[in-house]
Structure 1
């Protein structure tokens, strides 16, 4: 298979599909590299944002009862966790989309190339194996390109999803600690039974 020969005989549709796959590949690696570079920073910023969210409520929590303070603090932390999860998921949908459609784009390019190759063979009047194998083999390049784009996108998507799950668990643990500290600071005389109730917070993202 000679890609230069294929490119010379490719029409506008085949060349357009090639550039589409090229853009997908660039987008995949760009998103993945940015996510890898920002992984540690994203986790640190998320923890800081949680701390800031609960710190802003301390003055408002003072006049409330224990149960009310606990409920308000829980809602503030859960809301901030949702914001951080949304921020962490940026770009992940792009990876999933590319991983899903790249093989089909490559397959469509192959089908299109084979169609034109067979039409050309039919017009030439020579239907031997030698005349058919070369153009058909060259058209299969598009399938290979589609897989070359899709496989890294799948791996990058799975890595990002796993990171997001780990981040969510870490945020829930951090929020749990913040909630305990806040309740202790707001009411140092609160019964231990009430404080133990906070142990059920953020299990599966629910109170």
Structure 2
């Protein structure tokens, strides 16, 4: 069965599911690649950004008491780390949602294809290969498409979360060092 004959055999529900899965696949690939790129860039700049933010706040705070200066620097660092966390999580809901729903969309396509097979058998009264092959093939294709969309989304999600976690640990370590330096 080639794609053209498969496409002619399908109905509007199957075609809609196909386009939904195709759109989810494109969205997850684009989001995943962009997210990994931004996460790697974020991890490269975190040390300099935190140091610059602290340096900008320390200028003019020489007259403050050490406890006040420490509190001010701590607030600046917490704000910067919060911004990093927010920035690092952009796009992750798209990947997570795609990874979660794509297999179910494929499963719905599978159920729809089996329904077609049973409906074909019911109309003809025969359970021959001709009545069952098309709908079962449609069902298997939809299952495969659902998995083909979900697996890359899960992989991108896990890579991005791991990179973000590493960056947040790095940011916290740097922040503690900068905080200790600001009190001196």
Q: TM-score, normalised by structure 2?
A: 0.90
Counterpart of 2:38? 38
Whose relative contact order is higher, 1 or 2, with alpha carbons under 8 Å and at least 6 apart? Answer: 2
Q: CA deviation at 1:53?
A: 2.1
Within 5 A, what are the aligned runs for 1:39-58? 39-58=39-58
Q: Is the counterpart of residue 66 in structure 1 residue 85 in structure 2?
A: no
The structure that is helix-richer by fraction is 2
CA offsets 1:95-151 (integer angstroms, 9 cap, x no match): 111110000000111111221232233222322355324421332210110001111
> Structure 2: how far apart are the matches of 1:117 and 1:60?
77
User: Against the structure 1 CA distance between its residues 25 and 37, is the aligned structure 2 distance closer, same or farther, given a 3 Å change threshold?
Assistant: same
Following TM superposition, where does structure 1 have runs of at least 4 consecutive aligned residues deviating by more than 4 angstroms? none
Counterpart of 1:124? 124
Q: Is the counterpart of residue 24 in structure 1 residue 24 in structure 2?
A: yes
> Structure 2: how far apart are the matches of 1:108 and 1:2?
22
Counterpart of 1:85? 85
> Structure 2: how far apart are the matches of 1:79 and 1:112?
50
Unaligned runs of 5+ in 1: 185-207
> Structure 1: how far apart are the matches of 2:136 and 2:7?
13
Contact 1:50/1:175, CA 8 A, preserved across alignment: yes
Counterpart of 2:176? 176
Contact 2:9/2:134, CA 8 A, preserved across alignment: no
SS of the aligned residue for 2:59 comes to helix
Contact 1:6/1:139, CA 8 A, preserved across alignment: no
Higher radius of gyration, 1 or 2: 1
Contact 1:28/1:98, CA 8 A, preserved across alignment: yes
> Structure 1: how far apart are the matches of 2:12 and 2:51?
55
CA RMSD in angstroms comes to 1.9
Counterpart of 1:115? 115
Q: TM-score, normalised by structure 1?
A: 0.80
Counterpart of 1:137? 137
